Amino acid sequence: EAEVAQSPRYKITEKSQAVAFWCDPISGHATLYWYRQILGQGPELLVQFQDESVVDDSQLPKDRFSAERLKGVDSTLKIQPAELGDSAMYLCASSIDPVFGELFFGEGSRLTVL
């Protein structure tokens, strides 16, 4: 069964360091999402791509976060510099239909900032 691949599964870093997360969506899924889930809360959208274009990055803290999907396939989410409050699960999801398609999530990348 096709899956959304994410790496790394776990990342521990110190405050002010740079971190990067990678996501490879299900083949053929044009829509890719990065969500952040803080413990005890629901996932919150950071950025949504349609192919290589950003559709919505209104909730992405652009002073420290960046995301790209250069060839419209895999994607990278970067944080620089990391802050204590960035500790969370970073979830990547993809969808074949951005309107009525279900989201398929990867296993997530758990970030701990010390």
Partner 1 sequence: DQQVKQNSPSLSVQEGRISILNCDYTNSMFDYFLWYKKYPAEGPTFLISISSIKDKNEDGRFTVFLNKSAKHLSLHIVPSQPGDSAVYFCAASDNTGNQFYFGTGTSLTVIP
Which residues contact partner 1 by CB under 8 A?
4, 6, 31, 33, 35, 40-45, 48, 50, 55-56, 91, 93, 98-100, 102-108, 110
Rank residues 27 and 41 by Cβ distance to partner 1 and give the closer one: 41
Rank residues 86 and 106 by Cβ distance to partner 1 and give the closer one: 106
C-alpha pair distances (Å), 84 with each of 53, 92, 100, 104: 30, 21, 36, 28
**Torsion angle, CA of 16/21/78/17, rounded to 10 degrees?**
10
Closest approach of partner 1 to the CB of residue 113, in Å: 18
Backbone φ and ψ for 16, nearest 5 degrees, come out as 80, -5
Rank residues 22 and 105 by Cβ distance to partner 1 and give the closer one: 105
